[in-house]
Amino acid sequence: MEKIDLKSLSKDDVESFIKDAGLPSFRSRQILHWIYERYAQSLEEMTELSKKLREELAERAYISNLTLLNRLTSHDGTEKFLFGLEDGETIESVLIPDEERLTLCISSQVGCAMGCVFCLTGKSGLKRNLGPHEIIDQVISVNRMILPRRITNIVLMGMGEPLANFDNVVEALRRMTGVMVISPRRITLSTAGIVPRIAELGQLGLKVNLAISLNATTDSVRDVIMPINKTYPIKAVLDTCRKLPLQQTRKITFEYVMLKDINDSTADAKRLVRLLHGLQSKINLIPFNPYSDCEYERPDDIAVLLFQEILAKAEVTVIIRKSKGRDILAACGQLKARYK
């Protein structure tokens, strides 16, 4: 009989598994507690369960774990983890300390099919989707490694397009908020703009924050740098955002990767103000993080500041995302690329 990976099961499935094994329901609560709050990597670690019970369970079930292949620490405190999966693929997670926050940036796919031209992950194409357990295990594994510290915020901004792996990402989000009890306000999902999925996510009422990678102010530029724009152009993305059920205090984040001479002009800044008019939004300006052999450049600091000033003057909430961990290849996909 093939053994069941308890980490691959939803909360309901763990409950059914325990029931089918003829065990009382509090056992499923114990198992969930050990996996998601005590970060147990094996049944043997679950010392609350008798040795006999652990041995019985071990005949039918096991707990999968990501394999840590590399861990790099930047002088600014950013840490990068390269994990191996059961089939030998690799993914990255990045831990970013910022004042009282400890944010983990996690991956949702091995590679990505969206093909954004500036993105290293996009260049490799899509290998496969991550399972819910592989998504949430990035949070579990890092939490285990950094004890007694604990991740406070989660962003789905690592490798992959989360909304292209919708069901698995939603299941991972449900476990984060329902089993690990992380507030959905502390979770942000970033998407290149798969319009029907944005609407679907809104309807699910998961209450996680949404970030949209806008990255351009005209369809002609966005068509080139983000091919998904040919299917879902800027207007379709923004119209969908306007219709989302938002609570009063929530804002949608618009990420804007600044590429020198491509999307960094003052005219772009002014168009951006007009595009987002009336939307509850904030803008994250991300100066392009270059990697070897890339054809794009990071704009000069002065161009970034000027761009920011135009937005700020128009009373748009805008921050420039600090470039963290540049010395440890922290841009999406860089450590994985080096490891090959």
- Rounded least distance, CB 21 to ligand SAH, Å: 39
DSSP 254-287: EEEEE-TTTT-SHHHHHHHHHHTTTS-EEEEEEE
* Rounded CA separation 304/306 (Å): 5
The string over 64-103, giving b where at least 16 C-beta atoms fall within 10 Å of a residue's C-beta and e elsewhere, is: bbbeeebebebebebbbbbbbbeeeebbbbbbbbeeeebb
Q: Which does 264 bind (CB under 5 to 8 A by kind): ligand SAH, ligand SF4, none?
A: none
Q: Of 65 and 129, which CB lies nearer to ligand SF4 in the complex structure?
A: 129
For the segment 210-269, give every residue that binds ligand SAH (CB under 6 A): 213, 215, 255, 257
Binding mask 207-246 vs ligand SF4 (x if CB under 6 A, - otherwise)?
A: ------x---------------------------------
Report, as residue numbers or ranges, the catalytic residues.
92, 332
- Cα 234 to Cα 164, 188, 268: the distances in Å are 18, 21, 14
Among 66, 104, 192, 283, binds ligand SF4 (CB under 6 A): 192
Q: Of 78 and 215, which CB lies nearer to ligand SAH in the complex structure?
A: 215
- Cα 92 to Cα 84, 256, 287: the distances in Å are 9, 22, 21
* Rounded CA separation 157/141 (Å): 18
Tokens of 210: 């949404």
Among 27, 122, 129, 156, binds ligand SF4 (CB under 6 A): 122
For ligand SAH, how many residues bind (rule: CB under 6 A)? Answer: 16
Residue nearest to ligand SF4 (CB): 122
Among 104, 112, 155, 329, binds ligand SF4 (CB under 6 A): 112
For ligand SF4, how many residues bind (rule: CB under 6 A)? Answer: 11
Of the chain, the end-to-end C-alpha distance in Å amounts to: 35
Tokens of 243: 């219709």
From 242, 231, 213, 71, select the one nearest 142 (Cα to Cα). 71
Binding mask 280-299 vs ligand SAH (x if CB under 6 A, - otherwise)?
A: ------x-xx----------
From 192, 198, 202, select the one nearest 225 (Cα to Cα). 192
* Rounded CA separation 28/46 (Å): 12
Residue 119 interacts with ligand SF4 (CB under 6 A)? yes
Q: Of 109 and 177, which CB lies nearer to ligand SF4 in the complex structure?
A: 109
Residue 165 interacts with ligand SF4 (CB under 6 A)? no
Q: Which does 268 bind (CB under 5 to 8 A by kind): ligand SAH, ligand SF4, none?
A: none
Binding stretches for ligand SF4 (CB under 6 A): 112, 114-116, 119, 121-122, 160-161, 192, 213
